[in-house]
Amino acid sequence: MFLQSAVRTITTAALLFAAPAVQAQPLPPAADVLAKHVAAIGGRDAIMKITSMKQVGAMEITAAGMTADLEMYVMAPNKQSMKMSLAGLGEILSGTDGTVAWSVNPMQGARLLEGKELAQAKEQADFVASMLYSPDRFSAMTNEGVVDFAGEKAYKIKLVRKDTGNESWNYFSLASGLQIGAEATLDSEMGKMSTSSIIADYKQFGPLKVATRTEMTTGPQKMILTVKSAEFNTVTNEAVAVPAAVQPLIKK
């Protein structure tokens, strides 16, 4: 903005007071924001040395007053499994071996995922995409600006997965570079469900910083995931194998 002033007579020199122009700072490309997050958690070189990750923690379902022990396994390039143990109910299993994906719970039994659910499970198990945000996994990566999220200024990054077209909005702290939240619409056996997460309390485990608290809201339900430990390159094939209850469902 410029402020101009002139003396009253035409014989005097005009005075021009120029205030500095206020210009919006250009937004960094989405890829740069994602790269800053990768560097903040440990760096690409450290991540590329990881072949697997095991996390142990707990899940609290606040509305139901329930808690569960949780074990999560990831094996590069595209395998993962989760075991959630609920007192009085039993175990809930989910995962994919890169080919098939499954869900097992005491109320419904074993189920093979199909269609969009299967594609989504495979996508979520993609180690390179989830840890490195590799651009070749996305058809679009867009920085939509600076917003307030969970008490911080954050870049709002829209990502569109190449294989499924699934969209998500991911929030990265301007101060730390770390991811502090996410929003997406997921496919489930009950249809599409909107979910949002607040990601916090990063702690160092071995070569990487890992978020140890995630508050997830799906519809009316709120769940709090707490990670107690994380270890790397120790997961065996058995940990991510198709459960025995699911194997009879697989067409030979």
pLDDT tens for 163-201 read 899 999 999 999 999 999 999 987 776 678 889 999 999
Rounded CA-CA distance 218/210 in Å is 22
Residues 6+ apart with CB under 8 A from 103: 92, 93, 94, 110, 111, 113, 189
Which residues, listed in sequence order, are joined to residue 93 by a DSSP beta bridge? 83, 104
Domain 3-249 fold: outer membrane lipoprotein receptor (LolB), chain A (2.50.20)
Average pLDDT in the chain? 88
* φ/ψ of residue 58, rounded to 5: -145, 150
* Structure-token pair, residue 143: 């920085």
Is the pLDDT reported for residue 225 higher than 80? yes
| Whether 141 contacts 157, CB under 8 Å | yes
pLDDT score of 18: 38
Is the pLDDT reported for residue 147 higher than 80? yes
Which residues, listed in sequence order, are joined to residue 195 by a DSSP beta bridge? 184, 218
- pTM, 2 dp: 0.86
How many CA atoms, within 13 angstroms, populate the side-chain half-sphere of residue 79? 17
* 8-state DSSP, 26: P
Q: Is 14 exposed, middle or buried (0-12, 13-18, 19+ CB in 10 A)?
A: exposed
Query: 129 falls in which pLDDT band (50, 70, 90)?
Result: confident
Is the pLDDT reported for residue 5 higher than 70? no
CB atoms within 10 A of CB 123: 18
Rounded CA-CA distance 63/54 in Å is 28
pLDDT score of 65: 79
pLDDT score of 227: 98
Is the pLDDT reported for residue 8 higher than 50? no
More confident call, 221 vs 122: 122
Rounded CA-CA distance 65/52 in Å is 32
Q: Can you tell me the mean pLDDT for 54-77?
A: 91
